[in-house]
Structure 1
Amino acid sequence: MARRKKNENPKQGKWSIDSIKKAVEAVKIKKISIRRAAEQFYVPKSTLERRVNGKRQVDDPPSKPTVTAYAMAEMLKIKHPFSKTKAKAGYDWYEGFMRRHPQLAIRKPEGLSAARGMMLNKHVVTSYFQLLEDTMNKLKLFYKGSQIYNVDETGINTVHTPAKIIGLRGTRAIHSKTSGDRGENVTVVICASASGSYIPPMIIFKGQRLNRGLVANAPPGALFATSKSSFIDRELFEHWFKYHFMKYLPSHRPVLLIMDGHSSHISLEILQLAKENEIEILCLPPHITSELQPLDKCVFKPLKTEYNKACMQFLKENPGRIVTRYDFCGLFTTAYYKVCTMLNAASAFRATGIFFPFNPSIIPEEVFGPSIVSHLPSQEGDCKPEETKASDQESTCIEAESDLTSTSADCTVPCASGDVLSSLLKVPSFEKQRKIPTSKKSRRITSARCLTEDEVIKEIEDKENEKEQNRIEKENRKKLRVIKKLNKKDGKSEKLKRKKRKDKAEAEEEKEADFCNYCHGYYYDDDSDDEDWVKCSDQGCNRWFHESCTSCFGKEVDAFKCDAHKTV
């Protein structure tokens, strides 16, 4: 991407709402192109395209450019030494500002998906802990950590990630040997209880058949499986739940199993089996398992770190060798024994506020920061549209009054640098406009669920029946297409047969016209002869004869008819 020139003026926000309205009308009514309308009314093409497609409202105000230190100083009416011609602060001021505020630093932010940013809000977390508390109250498990379990899977690659090392400052070429550019993924399913006990892991390799050499040096009691992609699917999870989890589960009941809502974890057979054996399954809210799932929070990261260390040690002790799928179990076992301890499991459940103690306020407030501008309303939405509208009007009036008072208070120049800094770092409050609730229910799941409830089982059963019905209808449509195709082929073959019969009849007629039907002498044999040929005068006859064979001469030749068409 080319660098922006220093003297280039940004076009962002330099258009009026009237011009964008005229441009949208020109595109929709006059049917001109978006590019031509943008050039004609002097508006950005991308801005016009978003408003024509309905992604933004037509009368939405233009977004303003990034506020600089100069603009902030002008807005707060603070005396400053900045150049008014350049309208920006210099690098020396930036260095002094960073020295005066050592608590600030340039940080590279981690990527956060829009779904995670929206779901990780206080309402979703509060509703999850409320459901968890109600479930634990119903099952009486507040002091029974051996009956609370969490299961999750993670992928580990045979090509490890090298750890940090100490090297000479300024050296660029610092390398660490790995087993290849792209390795093979192996899925590991781990299940732990709040009391610190573990169910032996399940290890899934890529392939169709399990080689005995793959299972060497694995943890005792581990379950092995294979899949086409090395990822877990519904059949493998059903097998794990039915023949592995139930086998190592203590005899005490009831049991609470906490897991994420991945499609491979939810099936009708698992839920029915869990209900029969007094196992309550709690599904975590989507996209926020990194904060609420114990194994994600405290076990998987140190497990992969120890696995990387074991791979580095293996390559150091075995020069000339690489880590393959046959070495995976031994290296994984080394990391598993170091990380999957009773202390780590208990700490994981404590860090997520599940056990012990039960702590719904374990998630810090700063974690909810990305969801401030994407407020997610409750899924119940029991309030009526009129009540919602009235409450919105009241909240709008209150916010307007608070904005007026804050504006009048902010007109004064801050007396200390800390006040200026806090005003600079103030996060703007924003809430999405609430839509009027409709009778149509959204299919998107945005909250925690107890999967073993009768309503949820009935809903999943209906989905399974609908899916099976769609599958049968799809197969029937496929069979109909095949039958139509075969019928079409049969029609084509019948046409070909009719065409062949017609060609054969025409060929026979042409053959009859090539020789004399009296003496059977061929026309091509008379090249040296100047004798004329005579055709039967009957309209439907195609027979030819030598003139001498017909015994007709002169005008009689024109009225000649063969023996088959002579009238008695």
Structure 2
Amino acid sequence: METAINLCKAGESIKSTAKKYGLAYATLYRHVKTGATAPKLGRFRPVFNEDQEMELVTYLKDMDSVFFGLTRDEFKNLVFIYAKKNSLNYPKNWDKYERAGDDWLSSFLSRHKNISLRTPEATSVARAKGFNRHQVGRFYENLEALTAKYDIDASRFYNMDETGISTTTNKPPKVLSTKGKKQVGIIASAERGQLTTVIGCCNAAGSFLPPFLIFARKKMQPRLLDGAPPGTQGTCTPNGWTTGEVFLDWMRFFVEHVRPTPEKKILLLLDNHESHKYYPALDYASKNNVVILSLAPHTTHKMQPMDVAIYGPLKTYFEREVNAFQKAHPGRIINQYDVARLLSPAFLKCAVAINAVHGFERPGIWPVNKYAFGDEDYEPAAVIAGTSNMNIRTEGTKSPEPERVISDFFAETSSTPSPSILEEFIPSSPVDPLVEVIPSQNRATPSVLQAPGTPIIDYFKTPEKIRSDVECTPEPKTGCSQIASAVDLDIATNAQKSDTMPPETEEDNQRNTSRDKSPSPKPGCSTSHYSPFVLRPIPNHAKSITTRKRNLQKSEILTSTPIKEDQKEKFEKNKIKKVTKRLDDKSANVPIKIVPKKTKTGKKNQKTAKKAKQSNKFKEFKDISCIFCGEIYIEEDDNPIENWIRCGICQQWCHEECSAFDGTQEYICDSCQS
């Protein structure tokens, strides 16, 4: 077809050419007239060309990589604005709802198979901000130093981490049900289950330690571990969480199983939780040849081997066991005595060597690979910190006023302005303003008036907002390519003339002005191109309202002397605070309110009420001593405060025999002399 069109344009007869190449005369005539070579089937035409759709795909991927992915409605609204701002032909019903249609979105997803609708995992700002190149790089430096110093191999490199399991199902499995049914239910043990913490540990060679369970209760019962995996141990805390004392218990459990020696020390990797900095546990570890390395804070979701490869399958298998138990014992509530029995098959399924090896290998922990994470992994932290290239390219220059004027001018004219108009916006300084904003791009200082053939618009455009017509690649039938070529040639010619010829006269200016009023190019070829990053930029991270300053945490060798001494100092201070608080506690002198029991008739028993009042008074005056003689108060008869006097200023007590009494019924307190 293209060869036939070129022959016809060169002067050949359309009829003979069509017969020569076996083409229909009407078809060849239409293509010669419109200049289009690509065949078009059907009456529907795409809204965007391939380059524009790839720009939308790139935008979706970039926004998803920094955790600002678009929903269906948000994307359809962006597509509508993108088509409208760039003066493209789009269906009229888009204007009614101000967004693209569902049929267009379905076709878009069918054309781009690598884009699909996914359920995102909620990621906190702290995790997005904490996983940055500096903190992760510091961890790998510590890891490389320790593995080289102690000659660590896979069998002596362990990771310990906690996770929580509940006695009720949190994520029920999908079940077969009737189509159109409004609600599908499944029996659960309770609305809210009891938490049990599981401490797991494995090494880079694939070996696992038995789990260590923490139950939320006051007293530990041996039968809580009935049916647990072999070797399992457990303890109790009021809320089921890990504490410093529990970590010390687990450390003894760990040393008993791995048995480190001075010649073959053990490297233990764990997160930056405060309970893991408990000084007695750190001291016990260092004395027993265990070296503890902590991860950088808020990086465990990507770097903790147990999190990466073990605890996901463990919770899935445990949920299945819970649901199977509910179906086998309908109406029975799962309690703490069933947790170990349900955990056992789930733990044995996920605690396999291949999972442990992959858990260490994927984040580059063993073998050590500090390049395991790429730029896309650090991009969310860079966006929040304002150092990402994605932020820079959407901000434009530091002086946006000229850019705004130029952009508005381009939007109104939809044609390339002549050099005489653009000269008004050329700054007097020869330094390119974009060099300060985009340091990574070593742009040479543009010299439009000295470089024939270089479009002047390149001097002002930002990477996304403005594009010259050279970048526009629409369908040939629109005639855009010919217009672009003519405009570029015109710009280059004028630039060369303005460099070599004297200033233009008034006649020349008028002639140039009339020439600049050329018809606008066809839709899709506007010189003012609005990128999705400009129409819907990445949200800027809000500054913190609070002025509270926190100590920045980082990856540390917790068993090193400086860290251990610092934790020892904190431990001693906390111990003194606890003793002081216990000594200052005056709860023993606070009266205890006793509610009198009710009789069968519902009325309060008067005798019980009277005894309660007396009991309150006795509690109030317990351990009271006289400030003069030091005699302890002893209850006498039915009047507990008889012959005892209290100072209204210092609130001290004394009995009447030790006070100076005069005729005015006033007493002089020996404590405050009032």
The answer on whether the counterparts of 1:76 and 1:411 sit within 8 Å (CA) in structure 2 is no
Pairs within 5 Å for 1:84-95: 88-91=98-101, 94=105
Q: Which residue of 2 is the match for residue 453 of structure 1? A: 560
Which amino acid counterpart does residue 444 of structure 1 have in structure 2?
N
Which amino acid counterpart does residue 342 of structure 2 have in structure 1?
L
Q: Deviations over 1:442-472 (max 9, x none)?
A: 7533421111112211222233344345556
Compute the TM-score of the two structures, normalised by the length of structure 1: 0.62
The answer on whether the counterparts of 2:164 and 2:195 sit within 8 Å (CA) in structure 1 is yes
Which amino acid counterpart does residue 473 of structure 2 have in structure 1?
C
Q: Assess, with a 3 A threshold, how the Cα gap between structure 1 residues 463 and 504 changes in structure 2: closer, same or farther.
A: closer
Worse-matched range after superposition: 154-163 or 366-375: 366-375
Q: Deviations over 1:15-56 (max 9, x none)?
A: xxxxxxxxxxxxxxxxxxxxxxxxxxxxxxxxxxxxxxxxxx
Pairs within 5 Å for 1:172-191: 172-191=182-201
Q: Which residue of 1 is the match for residue 250 of structure 2? A: 240
Which amino acid counterpart does residue 212 of structure 2 have in structure 1?
M
C-alpha distance in 1 between matches for 2:435 and 2:646:
74
C-alpha distance in 2 between matches for 1:90 and 1:190:
50
C-alpha distance in 2 between matches for 1:401 and 1:146:
49
Q: Which residue of 1 is the match for residue 309 of structure 2? A: 298
The answer on whether the counterparts of 1:189 and 1:201 sit within 8 Å (CA) in structure 2 is yes
Pairs within 5 Å for 1:44-443: 68-76=78-86, 78=88, 80=90, 88-91=98-101, 94=105, 97-98=108-109, 100-141=111-152, 144-160=153-169, 161-242=171-252, 244-251=253-260, 253-355=264-366, 357-363=367-373, 365-375=375-385, 396=437, 398=439, 404=461, 406=463, 410-412=467-469, 414-415=472-473, 423-424=531-532, 443=550
Which amino acid counterpart does residue 309 of structure 1 have in structure 2?
R
Worse-matched range after superposition: 68-77 or 306-315: 68-77
C-alpha distance in 2 between matches for 1:394 and 1:216:
69
What is the percentage of aligned positions where both structures have the same residue?
26
C-alpha distance in 1 between matches for 2:384 and 2:85:
27
* Unaligned stretches of 5+ residues in structure 1: 1-64, 378-392, 435-440, 506-568
- Cα RMSD (Å): 4.4
CA shift, 1:283, in A, is: 0.5
The answer on whether the counterparts of 1:157 and 1:186 sit within 8 Å (CA) in structure 2 is yes
CA shift, 1:330, in A, is: 1.3
The answer on whether the counterparts of 1:147 and 1:254 sit within 8 Å (CA) in structure 2 is yes
CA shift, 1:84, in A, is: 11
The answer on whether the counterparts of 2:242 and 2:275 sit within 8 Å (CA) in structure 1 is yes
Q: Assess, with a 3 A threshold, how the Cα gap between structure 1 residues 264 and 164 changes in structure 2: closer, same or farther.
A: same
C-alpha distance in 2 between matches for 1:272 and 1:73:
66
The answer on whether the counterparts of 1:202 and 1:223 sit within 8 Å (CA) in structure 2 is yes
Q: Assess, with a 3 A threshold, how the Cα gap between structure 1 residues 213 and 369 changes in structure 2: closer, same or farther.
A: same
Q: Deviations over 1:238-258 (max 9, x none)?
A: 11112x111101445211000
C-alpha distance in 1 between matches for 2:542 and 2:85:
28
Q: Deviations over 1:247-282 (max 9, x none)?
A: 101445211000011111112222222222221100
Pairs within 5 Å for 1:2-41: none
CA shift, 1:432, in A, is: 8.7
The answer on whether the counterparts of 1:195 and 1:346 sit within 8 Å (CA) in structure 2 is yes
Q: Assess, with a 3 A threshold, how the Cα gap between structure 1 residues 268 and 72 changes in structure 2: closer, same or farther.
A: same
Which amino acid counterpart does residue 112 of structure 1 have in structure 2?
T
C-alpha distance in 2 between matches for 1:457 and 1:419:
67
Larger Rg: 1
The answer on whether the counterparts of 2:94 and 2:100 sit within 8 Å (CA) in structure 1 is no
User: Secondary structure of 1:304's partner?
Assistant: helix
CA shift, 1:156, in A, is: 0.8
CA shift, 1:299, in A, is: 0.7
User: Secondary structure of 1:200's partner?
Assistant: coil
C-alpha distance in 2 between matches for 1:339 and 1:167:
30
CA shift, 1:476, in A, is: 7.0
C-alpha distance in 2 between matches for 1:423 and 1:102:
22
Compute the TM-score of the two structures, normalised by the length of structure 2: 0.53
User: Secondary structure of 1:450's partner?
Assistant: coil
C-alpha distance in 2 between matches for 1:237 and 1:501:
66
CA shift, 1:234, in A, is: 0.9
Which amino acid counterpart does residue 209 of structure 1 have in structure 2?
K
Which amino acid counterpart does residue 132 of structure 1 have in structure 2?
L
Q: How many residues align?
A: 415
Worse-matched range after superposition: 125-134 or 257-266: 125-134
Q: Which residue of 1 is the match for residue 598 of structure 2? A: none
The answer on whether the counterparts of 2:272 and 2:294 sit within 8 Å (CA) in structure 1 is yes
C-alpha distance in 1 between matches for 2:243 and 2:206:
27
C-alpha distance in 2 between matches for 1:89 and 1:173:
31
C-alpha distance in 2 between matches for 1:419 and 1:298:
50
User: Secondary structure of 1:199's partner?
Assistant: coil
User: Secondary structure of 1:135's partner?
Assistant: helix
Q: Assess, with a 3 A threshold, how the Cα gap between structure 1 residues 97 and 340 changes in structure 2: closer, same or farther.
A: closer
User: Secondary structure of 2:283's partner?
Assistant: helix
C-alpha distance in 1 between matches for 2:283 and 2:238:
28
C-alpha distance in 2 between matches for 1:376 and 1:398:
14
Which amino acid counterpart does residue 137 of structure 2 have in structure 1?
T
CA shift, 1:159, in A, is: 0.9
C-alpha distance in 1 between matches for 2:274 and 2:115:
43
Worse-matched range after superposition: 147-156 or 412-421: 412-421
The answer on whether the counterparts of 1:82 and 1:89 sit within 8 Å (CA) in structure 2 is no
Worse-matched range after superposition: 361-370 or 327-336: 361-370
Q: Deviations over 1:383-437 (max 9, x none)?
A: xxxxxxxxxx985473798685626863446427999999537996899999xxx
User: Secondary structure of 2:384's partner?
Assistant: coil
